[in-house]
Amino acid sequence: MSAEPRINDRIRVPEVRLVGPSGEQVGIVPLAKALELAQEYDLDLVEVAANARPPVCKLMDYGKFKYESAMKAREARKNQAHTVIKEMKLRPKIDPHDYDTKKGHVVRFLKQGDKVKITIMFRGREQSRPELGFRLLQRLASDVEELGFIESNPKQDGRNMIMVLGPHKKKTEAMAEAREAQAARKAERQGVAADEAFDEVEGDEAPVEAAEATDAPVAEAPADAPVENPEA
């Protein structure tokens, strides 16, 4: 069945409960009268509650309504937060440098609002020392406790030991903070670029030096030569 509501001539009932363009209740009117009002307002008659008795119809610009609904749904999908479970694998006897690197990744995931599945992989004789993996997981949870918490306690799963860390911040909060930080960095870069451009313009403007005053006498203009009278 189509999810589109019936509009205008597709409505097949003798009367409807009519709602005006501004949401005002018009009342129960014959279908012909409702269609006549729709033409008068240059709007569509849209069935908004088909199961009511009689069905509820509203006068609206259906094309505009569909467009605005699509935009709202698109914006909602854009802002929808999907929690992702990241995975980080460690060995019981991990090197300190590798541990710091792995911990850095876990910190980044938690800051992004994602859960982190920590897997300790046991090999050979390590399987007889599960306490090594347990202590490592407890150490990692303690190192990142400001950002996350133990959502699933360590448990043995075959040759692996698994723990799940959950973020303190929700995904939506982390996304909002990331957008704000990005906007701040962009504004800072634009400010630095503007300052550099201003300094460059100032450097191109060489100062004009004033001419030094001299004591040399100023030559006087010659006196006008006498004009001879041709008739003399």
SS3 sequence, 82-147? CCCEEEEEECCCCCHHHHHHHHHHHHHHHHCCCEEEEEEECCHHHHHCHHHHHHHHHHHHHHCCCC
Residues in the chain: 232
Instruction: Give the separation between CA 91 and CA 78, rounded to whole angstroms.
Output: 38
* pLDDT score at 148: 92
Q: Taking residues 212-223, what's their average pLDDT? A: 47
Mean predicted confidence (pLDDT) in 52-74: 91
pLDDT at residue 180, rounded to an integer: 75
The 3-state DSSP class for residue 219 equals: coil
Query: For 114-153, how does the pLDDT look when each residue is reduced to its tens digit (9 = 90+)?
Result: 999 999 999 888 888 899 999 999 999 999 999 999 999 9
pLDDT for 9 beyond 70: yes
Report which residue type is found at 220: E
**Cis amide linkage into residue 5, ω under 30° from 0:** no
Retrieve residue 100's tokens. Answer: 């710091």
* pLDDT band (50, 70, 90) for residue 107: very high
Cα 163 to Cα 67, 104, 136: the distances in Å are: 46, 17, 11
Handedness of CA 161, 166, 172, 175 (dihedral sign): negative
Give 222 or 158, the one with higher predicted confidence: 158
Q: How far apart are CA 135 and CA 129, in angstroms?
A: 11
**Phi and psi, residue 8, nearest 5°:** 50, -120
10-31 confidence digits (pLDDT tens): 999 999 999 999 889 989 999 9
